[in-house]
Structures are given as C-alpha cells and as structure tokens.
Amino acid sequence: MKAHLITYGCQMNEYDTHLVQSQLVSFGADIVDSVDEADFVLINTCAVRGKPVDKVRSVLGDLRKQKQKRPLVVGMMGCLAQLEEGQQIARKFEVDVLLGPGSLLDIGQALESNERFWGLQFKDELHGHIPPPPAGRLQAHLTIMRGCDHHCTYCIVPTTRGPQVSRSPDDILRELDLQLAAGVQEVTLLGQNVNAYGVDGGARLAGYPSFADLLRLVGQSGVRRVKFTTSHPMNFTEDVAAAMAETPAVCEFVHLPVQSGSNRVLRRMAREYTREKYLEHIAQIRRHMPHAVLATDIIVGFPGETEEDFADTLSLYDAVGYDSAYMFIYSARPGTPSYKHFQDLPREVKTERLQRLIARQKEWSNRKNAEKVGTVQEVLLRGDAHESGFLEGHTRGNHPTVVPKAVGADGAGIVQVRIEHATPHMMYGRILGEGGQPLPELPRFTPESSALSSPLQMA
C-alpha cells in the first residue's frame, strides 16, 4: 500500500498524524508525498472552525472524482470525524474509513476490512501507546493528555476528544527518551489544557505529578529545549511560572489564551475566570520571568459582543503587551451551546473588529521584536529558508528567525544569533562563532553570478 496523509488543525493533530503514519509503516505501507502516488489517502481533520471543514469538503470532492477513475481508498480521521456533521460529510463523499480521535489504533483493522469501516469509540489503550520518534527531526511533539474537562460554550473539543485523560508520567518519559535518542533537541508538550495535567474529572491522580513538577522532570531529562501548549488560565498556577524559571531547558515562552478582554463576554464563553484574574497570572509570570514572551488566542465577534466589550479586548492588549497572538472571528460550530443559544453577529462587524485587532497586535509585535535588535538569541535552525542562501529557525521565545548561511555552521541545530533587524513577524540576524563574532557568510548566487568563471563570486 502507498499512503498519503493530509493534516489540518492543531499540533495535537500533527502528533496524531505521526502516530497513525507510524502504524501504517508497521503494517508495511509506504508513505508517499502526493495524492497521485497513493492508493490510500487519509485526511486528519479539524472541527474548531468552519474554514478547515470547508477545506475537507473540497479535498474529499476531488478524491471522489479520482475514485471514479482508479482504485483509491479514502479515509478521514480527527475531530470532524467524531461529529455527526463529519459523518454526514463522509457519507456524501463516499469515505471508506472514518476514525475518531480516540480510535486511531483501529487503522489496521480498518484497512483489513472489505467494507466501510467507522471507528468512533474512545479506546483506553491509545493513551499508553508510544509511537516511534520522528526520523531526522530536531523538534518533536509529545502528548501528555487528551480531551478536556472544561465546557467553553464555543468549543467542540470536549465532544470530539472526550473528557480529560492524563497520560502516565512513565509513558511520557519513555517516549521522551526515544525522542532524545533519535536526536530531538526541542520537545513541545501537548494537551488541550496542559495546566490541568494529573487532575482528571476534578480529582488528583495518585502517583501523577502536577504540571509544574512534570515540567521539572522533563527539563532534567537532557533535552535542550522544552515548550508546551496550550494552557487554560483557570488552571494556571504560579508554581508553573516558578518551574519554568527554575528549569533552564524550559523556554520562557507562555501561550495563555484569554479569548476576550471583557468579563461579560468571558462569562458568556463560560471561561471560568475574569479579566482581573487573568492579569494576575500575567503578573505571576513576569514576577518569575521578567522577559517572558507572551502569546494568546483571541476570538473576535463572539455573540453579543458590543463595541464596549471589544474595547476591553483592545485595552487588555495594552495591559499585557503580547508578543504574538492567534486571532480569529467567531465561527459558530454545530453542537456547541453558543451555536444553539446565541445569535451570531453580522460578518462585516466581526471582520472590521478583527482588522482593528490585527493592527493593534502588529503594533505590539513590532515594538517587542524591535527590542530584540542587538541582542543575542538562541535559535534552533530547521534548515533552508524559502530564499536561497538563508536558513530559518526560531528562538526560545518562538520568534521566526532567518539567518544567512555561514562558514562552519550546519544547516540545522541550535546556534547563537545576533539579531540585526526585525519586523512584526520575523527577525533577521547572523550566526555567531565561539568568540561571539559573526561567522563569515557563505556566497549567495544569482542567475547572473552563476555563469561567472569563479564559483565563489558573491551576489
């Protein structure tokens, strides 16, 4: 079998894709780079917003046409597959295999079946499964929990991924050991709400550390860099900030979704905290890490949001000063309380507010990134950038960074970089040698210079 996987959505979906891909390889499948090469195409779906659902419909429509011309098995997995909406889409587009987020290990049984296979049960064995580490990767994701016990009125995740189930610390550390042996230098701990790790259904699990103590354990493993996503402010504790500050491997980057700066909107969202409590958490983070890099999520135009509510969100930006943010207009999702009970705002109102929010975030990102000019940052280089002659990577604070290729520097790995220029979305610098001086740049070529007699002619 030749299999091709397409992934939409969050980092958890990326992790799940790797898990299923490793299962397919163990069954003897070849993973190919394009749909045209494949006889099995599996789409990992997202259901948080309407846009990724529309993308899935489009891809499935194209695949249905291909099925009419050649033998092709089509599968759908992920959050959308768990919903009635997704199952209706699967029927319409003649999907052969349907796997919910809790049934990923059923992929072998699904492919052995001679008829349509739908696996939508949450299986306990999934939480103890340890996939092999990704080959040739310096970064890796590591799931520490699945599901969520919160019920925000806009969120479909508790329906698609079920209640919170924390993974055992032994399984987490065993998978981490495999990743480190494979050369991973940066690991991101994943969960719908990592702060609640070890407290499932409101009860502390015997023998499970708190999330703060798990950070300390992971940070002592020998890994170079540790990050985590995502956090719910309701479960954030000052001990997490203290653990980050005490553990050198843990990066000083905190993604703490606020969703709105208005207490009235937060209540309608059922977020379980106030603006004031959220700002207390920001103060705790900065007390332990004065230079912490802060990111957030914002939903603009939630049902009932007034201009005054939106002004509260803008003022929260000025109170916090975020380095970056994921900003979205509210997308009504079938099956959520807000979809059932609240009247959506006109799209033009939501779009106009989003543009204002983006402008405010751009101001803060520009200001924050400009402060990094002249500083030395630790950058994990991932490889070639889109522009020839340059490498791309990211700092401990998750800032995308581009550097010219340099003599004596590998194309991937952790290096020291002096930042020389910054925009709201990117930082540019030069790789430093052991003495703190920039390494000589390798020549960069243009079509004109490549025709010159000397191969070292610089552009």
- pLDDT > 90? residue 64: yes
**Is 0.75 surpassed by the pTM of this model?**
yes
Nearest one of 163, 187, 193 to 173, comparing CA atoms: 187
Nearest one of 83, 79, 98, 205 to 144, comparing CA atoms: 205
Q: Which pLDDT value is given to residue 445?
A: 56
Three-state SS string across 48-113, please? CCHHHHHHHHHHHHHHHHHHCCCCCEEEEEEHHHHCHHHHHHHHHCCCCEEECCCCHHHHHHHHHC
Q: Which pLDDT value is given to residue 448?
A: 45
How many Å apart are CA 369 and CA 424, to the nearest integer?
Answer: 6
- pLDDT > 70? residue 174: yes
- pLDDT > 50? residue 12: yes
Categorize the per-residue pLDDT at 457 as very low, low, confident or very high, splitting at 50, 70 and 90.
very low
Q: Cα angle vertex 322, ends 364, 238, to 5°?
A: 155
Cβ atoms of residues 271 and 234 within 8 Å: yes
Q: Which pLDDT value is given to residue 124?
A: 73
Q: What percent of the chain has pLDDT over 90?
A: 89
The answer to whether 148 is a known ligand-binding residue is yes
- pLDDT > 70? residue 346: yes
Q: Where in the chain is the domain with CATH 2.40.50.140?
A: 372-459
Nearest one of 331, 324, 330 to 360, comparing CA atoms: 324
Number of other CB atoms surrounding residue 393 within 10 Å: 23
Preceding amide of 230 cis, omega within 30? yes
Q: Which pLDDT value is given to residue 409?
A: 86
Going 252 to 189 to 48 to 233, the CA torsion angle's sign is negative
pLDDT tens readout for residues 225-274: 999 999 999 999 999 999 999 999 999 999 999 999 999 999 999 999 99
pLDDT tens readout for residues 125-166: 888 899 999 888 999 999 999 999 999 999 999 999 999 999
Domain 131-369: which CATH number of 3.80.30.20, 2.40.50.140, 3.20.20.70, 1.10.3720.10? 3.80.30.20
Categorize the per-residue pLDDT at 454 as very low, low, confident or very high, splitting at 50, 70 and 90.
very low
Burial 200-229 (b: 16+ CB within 10 A, else e): beeeeeeebebbbbbbbebbeeebbbbbbb
Categorize the per-residue pLDDT at 169 as very low, low, confident or very high, splitting at 50, 70 and 90.
very high
Q: Where in the chain is the domain with CATH 3.40.50.12160?
A: 2-119
Q: Which pLDDT value is given to residue 105?
A: 94
pLDDT tens readout for residues 76-110: 999 999 999 999 999 999 999 999 999 999 999 99
Domain 372-459 superfamily per CATH: Nucleic acid-binding proteins (2.40.50.140)
The answer to whether 251 is a known ligand-binding residue is no
DSSP string, 353-387: HHHHHHHHHHHHHHHHHHTTTT-EEEEEEEEE-SS
Q: What is the CATH number of domain 2-119?
A: 3.40.50.12160
